[in-house]
Structure formats: structure tokens, C-alpha cells
Amino acid sequence: MQASEVKQLVEQQLEGCTVTTEGEGCDFRVTVVGEVFEGLSPVKKQQLVYGCLSEQIANGTIHALTIRAFTSKQWQALEA
């Protein structure tokens, strides 16, 4: 699986989010920024992203996944 495929899967299910992916094979790092995460705990944010890729995780296509999920405001604060 390619990083671009992971990005596409997440973007299709979390509309309005900016998705950045790195990695290849079965190990990926995903950063997702969007208002869909407003008011959610870190665990709930990760669960939302995991849900987008649950089939690929279950069948072993994705073995390792690192998720970073932020609202736009949180992302801007990190970049400042």
C-alpha cells in the first residue's frame, strides 16, 4: 500500500480535513487536521481516523499506524 492510498481513504471519509501521510508498505504516519475533531478527546480523535482504515488494519495491509489529529486551531498553535 502507498501513502497516497492511505491519504485518499482518510480524505474520503473525513471530508473537509487536510491529510498528510508518510510511510510505505504496511507502516504509516498520518496527520489529520480538521474541525471534525472539535471537542473530542485524543482517544476519540484517533478512533475516528482508525475507523477510516479499519478494513486495512484488520486484513494486515496496514500493520503499524501512527496518528496525529488536530483541529485547525490546535494545528496553528503547534506551528507558531
- Write out 14-75 in H/E/C secondary structure: CCCCEEEEEEECCEEEEEEECHHHCCCCHHHHHHHHHHHCHHHHHCCCCCEEEEEEECHHHH
Q: Looking up cell 485518499, which residue turns up?
A: 8
Reference 62, options 12, 23, 16; nearest CA is 23
| Three-class DSSP category at 80 | coil
Task: Supply the pTM of this predicted model.
Answer: 0.91
pLDDT (0 to 100) of residue 78: 86
What span, in angstroms and rounded, lies between the C-alpha atoms of 35 and 7? 17
Number of separate domains in the chain: 1
Q: What is the pLDDT of residues 2-59, one digit of tens each?
A: 999 999 999 999 989 999 999 988 899 999 999 999 999 999 999 999 999 999 999 9
The residue range of the domain holding 64 is 3-79
Tell me the CATH number at 36.
Answer: 3.30.300.90
